[in-house]
Amino acid sequence: MSEKILEIRHLSKTFGTNLVLKDIDFTVNTGDVTCIIGASGSGKSTLLRCLNLLETPTTGEIMYHGNNIAGAKVNAAKYRSKVGMVFQSFNLFNNMTVLQNCVVGQTRVLKKEKEEAKKNALYYLEKVGMAPYINAKPKQLSGGQKQRVAIARALAMEPELLLFDEPTSALDPQMVGEVLEVMRKLASEGLTMIIVTHEMAFARDVSNHVVFMAGGVIVEEGAPDQIFGAPREHQTREFLGRFM
């Protein structure tokens, strides 16, 4: 049975006089793999940042298991252990080793014992193929390796939902595949994810739901075969045409 994790209702966000998200509605159920596509500046990152409580919506509701967390007093670190985020620029702790990166959130936020946290970290580093690098510092790693560590770090918190903001956009082309492969594996294992991406073939393959944004609104959303194969809106066709 799939359960509703997040329900976004009438979410809007302004920066100064710039209305960057307008009346966004959508729902995330357990097991959903949602890809958000759209041109640069359409509001994709701002939306993910609202969902991760890095931005406060100007109006609207973010219902998390039925409770509105938008503007409410919530423990952000605790919430982010449930709704994690992987960034374009990795955001690893550069002064820590790979293993420490994957342990610190578990001990500080989840209050796990160090040994248990290490064991758990190793399990996820293994999953992303980074177990041989536990003692390396981020600066010794390639971009693709750093992103795989960032994914392991997020997974080690055992989130219900993982948000990815263009996880392969900062990578050299030869490293994109290794990160997408890890994400494909996570999708096949049933992890609930929202992925902002420009990798259209990947999005079509891996998602069960695609959201196309432009100018701060959801122009069209639906099943991947519908969005990519038979888009209803002119704007969607025009956007997808750029990738042909």
Q: Is 46 in the site for ligand ADP (CB under 6 A)?
A: yes
Locate all alpha helices (DSSP H) within 52-160, ordered by sequence.
Answer: 76-82, 98-108, 114-127, 143-155
Q: Is 156 in the site for ligand ADP (CB under 6 A)?
A: no
Question: What's the closest the beta carbon of residue 43 comes to ligand ADP, in angstroms?
Answer: 4
Residue 229's Cβ-side half-sphere holds a number of Cα atoms within 13 Å equal to 7
Q: Which range touches ligand ADP (CB under 6 A), out of 42-50, 61-69, 85-93, 175-183? A: 42-50
Looking at residues 32 to 61 of the shown chain, list those that interact with Mg ion (rule: CB under 5 A): 45
Cβ-defined contacts of 88-92 (< 8 Å, 24+): 88/165, 88/166, 88/167, 88/169, 88/170, 89/170, 90/138, 90/143, 90/146, 90/147, 90/149, 90/150, 90/170, 91/150, 92/138, 92/146, 92/149, 92/150, 92/153
Tell me which residue has its CB nearest to Mg ion: 45
Q: Is 81 in the site for ligand ADP (CB under 6 A)?
A: no
Q: Is 40 in the site for ligand ADP (CB under 6 A)?
A: yes
Q: Is 45 in the site for ligand ADP (CB under 6 A)?
A: yes
Nearest residue (CB) to Mg ion, 45 versus 168: 45
Question: What's the closest the beta carbon of residue 63 comes to ligand ADP, in angstroms?
Answer: 21
Q: Is 101 in the site for Mg ion (CB under 5 A)?
A: no
Which of ligand ADP, Mg ion, none interacts with 42 (beta carbon under 5 to 8 A by kind)? ligand ADP
